[in-house]
Amino acid sequence: MDAEIVALINSGVTSLLGLMVKDAWERSKKSAASLFSTDKKVISAIESELDETSDRLKFALSSGDTEAEAEVAAEWRSRLRRAVCSDDSLLVALRAFVEENKNSEEGCNRHYGKVAMKAKARDSSRVYQQGSGTQYNH
């Protein structure tokens, strides 16, 4: 799969999961479901699945279950990848979804807010830092 499409899928999933835990979820749910199909019956079923996932994700976040959070992300990343591979027209919807949510607070920095990481090393020591999600280096 093309690297640009992989990056687009990753951005789409980040926005999707970010919206699921925000107040904007109800108004974003229909456009999120349309990322997976063009069939109205399928979209309706996906909306229900997304709502269930939103509840699971909120519970995982409130209980600090990072493993469950990662499973949810992997599940929807895989589903989005399969959807895009089976129907190229969904790429247009995915690009629009990512663009629409790119600069919104709901689509960025998920539940973490802004995170700043700083470290100091002395002599011959090393510092390794790692985060997850989309990085914005300023």
User: Could you write out the DSSP letters of every residue in 67-135?
Assistant: HHHHHHHHHHHHHHHHHHHH-TTHHHHHHHHHHHHHSSTTTSSGGG----------TT--------S--
Say if 27 falls within a structural domain.
yes
Say if 10 falls within a structural domain.
yes
Measured at the CA of 14, the angle between CA 38 and CA 105, to 5 degrees, comes to 105
Q: Helices 66-86 and 40-63 sit at what angle, rounded to 10 degrees?
A: 160
Say if 124 falls within a structural domain.
no
Count the alpha carbons within 13 Å of 7 in the hemisphere toward its beta carbon: 6
Q: Is the pTM of this model over 0.85?
A: no
pLDDT band at 120 (very low <50, low <70, confident <90, very high): confident
Say if 34 falls within a structural domain.
yes
The domain tally of the chain equals 1
Say if 125 falls within a structural domain.
no
Say if 58 falls within a structural domain.
yes
pLDDT band at 23 (very low <50, low <70, confident <90, very high): confident
Say if 30 falls within a structural domain.
yes
- Provide the domain limits for residue 71: 3-111
pLDDT band at 110 (very low <50, low <70, confident <90, very high): very low
Say if 135 falls within a structural domain.
no
